[in-house]
Chain A
């Protein structure tokens, strides 16, 4: 057990400051344990979000020494004992109070996405899908919606970008729908226009912060960009589309 130094942001979107706290740290403690301990003993009204405490719900996203992290999966032994650990709220979203930010914008993006759409005929019997055909989709569905990728995305960090780009989280969701073997909807036009895929210039910041290690850029964003290119910029496909209408997704029965 050793007493360590912390600075935590206290305040709202308009004004706030870093407040110093001291807290005893014992073996195995994570940053969320420290926040909860300070809350119980020294600052009952210190606002933070958390739920599962095991990296499964994505509630406790904060910035620790400037890096977007899950507080429940960041162990204190990562940091040098005599250095102050600084905990601040996510930068890309308005602060409600202390470490809690308003992430409602993300829920609005999700609402705009056309949900999973199998055919009525397929629903009459059990889906038959081979494991190898759903591996990629399952990889996307590991996402815990911690929004660390959204927070890190430089398009979204720039406030005006929020009107133009749904962000990496929702590119992952769109990719999971587009690559689902039983999905029959076509979202390519929306991905290009409404969800703003073109805004991403592949800096891979999102992939670096993903606690689930989802290959956001390589597995989701780039394949979606290829589909958009095929549809809109490939001269053969453009002619094909003109003659036969939009290419429907292949049916993989």
Chain B
């Protein structure tokens, strides 16, 4: 029998898994009183999490560029972008809380681009009524993670880098009592005993073939939370960012920031047509420019001109590009042309989009100040995730909290660009505070069961100890192809069902997965460990996508092409059944607060008048 007495144990009040923007924010918030023992575990080196890749900016109604902005308008934009399926309360907390958190980041050392008056500058982005995204060129994520990192390392947080979380431990009553992890460098196991646990583990974009996500995005939080009995919500809503690189093949999927369109970039098909004018949905028609001339006036700063259709929400733009390619009007390598060269001066482009300039220059040998880019949809973000309580970020498991991309609900059926970085700050902070409070209420450390610890460790080591077995990399490649073709942008019942059958086959192959080599920094082993979580995440996406028989936001069913009003009443939940199987059920949404409902359903004209009155009162 496995002896676990020699395995190191550490105790915390709050332990955070994941050190991107959400995890670092949570850790800083939890350690505010300097008494709470806070730990932070990350799979990579500190400062390398996916937040570093965020480009465009963070949305907050600061009103620095257009003083008509207000939390109410940000809230309305967010709800409409999410096709009204967002958790109302979370969208409210987010829109109200974002400005304070952005200012806090500046106080911790972030240096945003400035307006002419020396305030934080804000840029236009898809679905946002006003210039709203605080940004630093096109490297806002780097600014954010470095600021949080450099502030966070002085808050007494115990940081464990290159450490993989394996599974959650609970006590007899079902409360979180800890988590078993493994240091990647040595292969050594460690048991973290903790009163509360925050999952800031990001999404599972690595389940698709064409993706903007790195190796880390394997749905570890979804897999572990599911295994511990937590509920996953809205998993059918996977955002395909409209503009990923398409050529050369080795860089397919790498993100091209929406900031290109925010700064005036236009989309054209192979016939040279600016096709987005043909894809304006009725709902957005009276807020969108209907001619090239009007769009040009908007770019010049005319406040009466409406926004160009390239800045419609991501779900709409991604589907439009997809449709153009299908109709035979795609670019040379099967995408659309994104042209900023004819819209802005070379100097402006290099100043506002330096990393895009650099990225295309090196990876595609293309000068974006002279030539159009080729772009196409790439898997980017999970709107869905672990179900949390809006006001505490606690999941359905006592003591388990979640924030950031790992948590679901805030973005509904589609996320607006720029709402992720602000989400990380707002809900990172909230979950950190709430987890610290929860831990203070517990008198003693909940006790983990040794049997559970042994089972978790044995599951991990058997992958190394098997004589022979399946190559984890190849199963992963199969899974990516399966999700790409069967549970991709455009879905049908037949394809999804086939996709689920394939996932079931892969789950069996996973039972016999083998990683050769030792336990020290062994990427094959790490890949195999992540595969379980990728499979759970993928299954959950596919089963939810099969059940939702409508098209809404990022979830498009060819066999049910329009929004179904009755479906607006439901979220889809996945959880583990008594026999270990995945249960997928429809759950009725609760009735929203009347005032929030009124704001979201107001016409933009009425709401703008109301906001002017609000601002005059102040």
Chain A interface (Cβ within 8 Å of chain B)? Answer: 26-30, 33, 39-41, 44-59, 73, 75, 96-98, 100, 102-103, 107, 110-111, 115-116, 118, 123, 126-131, 134, 137-138, 141-142, 144-145, 173, 177, 180
CB <8 Å contact, A131 and B114:
yes
Answer yes or no: B7 CB below 8 A from chain A CBs: no
Q: Are B515 and A51 in contact (CB under 8 A)?
A: no
Of A40, A75, A110, A141, the contact of B111 (CB 8 Å cutoff)? A141
Instruction: Report Cα–Cα, A130/B217, bound state, in Å.
Output: 38
Q: Which of A28, A46, A102, A130 is B251 in contact with, Cβ under 8 Å?
A: A28
When distances are taken between beta carbons in the complex, the residues of chain A under 8 Å from B47 are: 145
A28 touches B111 (CB 8 A): no
> Which chain A residues border B146 with CB–CB below 8 Å?
141, 145
Give min CB distance, A152 to chain B, whole Å: 19
In the bound assembly, the distance between CA atoms of A149 and B362 in angstroms comes to 20
With a 10 A CB-CB cut-off, give which of A51, A58, A128 has the most chain B CB atoms.
A51
Cβ distance A42 to chain B, nearest Cβ, rounded Å: 11
Q: B119 near A126 (CB under 8 angstroms)?
A: yes
Of B50, B114, B358, which contacts A134 at CB under 8 A?
B114
| Interchain CA distance A39-B528 in the complex, whole Å | 13
Q: Which of A40, A44, A48, A111 has the most CB of B within 10 A?
A: A44
B118 CB–A CB distance under 8 Å: yes
C-alpha gap A29/B107 in the complex (Å): 42
Distance of A186 Cα from B516 Cα, bound (Å): 53
Contact string against A for B residues 178-200, beta-carbon threshold 8 Å, 1 for contact and 0 otherwise: 00000001000000000000000
Q: How large is the interface on B (under 10, 10 to 19, 20 to 34, 35 or more residues)?
A: 35 or more
Q: B523 within 8 Å of A by Cβ?
A: yes
- The CA of A123 and the CA of B517, in the complex, are separated in Å by 54
Give Cα A243–Cα B46 distance, bound, in whole angstroms.
45
Which one of A41, A46, A110 contacts B150 once the chains associate, using CB atoms below 8 Å?
Answer: A110
> Given A28-B251, A45-B524, A50–B111 Cβ distance below 8 Å?
no
CB of A30 within 8 A of CB of B250, answer yes
When distances are taken between beta carbons in the complex, the residues of chain A under 8 Å from B50 are: 51-52
Could you list 25 A-B pairs, sorted by A, with CB under 8 Å?
A: A28-B249, A29-B250, A30-B251, A44-B472, A45-B525, A52-B48, A53-B254, A56-B142, A57-B48, A59-B44, A59-B48, A75-B363, A96-B520, A97-B521, A103-B45, A115-B150, A118-B107, A127-B107, A129-B118, A138-B136, A141-B143, A141-B146, A142-B139, A177-B109, A180-B111
Considering the chains assembled together, what is the distance between the CA atoms of A46 and B520 in angstroms?
11
Binding site for A on B (CB under 8 A): 44-50, 52-53, 103, 106-109, 111, 113-114, 117-120, 136-137, 139, 141-143, 146, 150-151, 153-154, 185, 214-216, 247-251, 254-255, 355, 358-359, 362-364, 471-474, 477, 515-518, 520-525, 527
Are A51 and B111 in touch, CB under 8 angstroms? no
CB-CB < 8 A to B472: which residues of A? 44
Specify which chain B residues have a CB less than 8 angstroms from the CB of A177 in the assembled complex: 109
**Are the C-beta atoms of A131 and B113 separated by less than 8 Å?**
yes
Distance, CA A177 to CA B109, complexed state (A): 8
How far is B516's CA from A45's CA once the two chains are assembled, in angstroms? 7
- Whether the Cβ atoms of A128 and B117 lie closer than 8 Å is yes
Chain A residues within an 8 Å CB radius of B216: 51
| A26 in contact with B250 (CB, 8 Å) | yes
A233 to chain B, nearest CB (A): 30
Given contacts A49-B45, A55-B358, A137-B111, 8 further A-B contacts (CB under 8 A): A39-B524, A40-B471, A45-B516, A45-B518, A59-B48, A111-B153, A138-B136, A138-B137
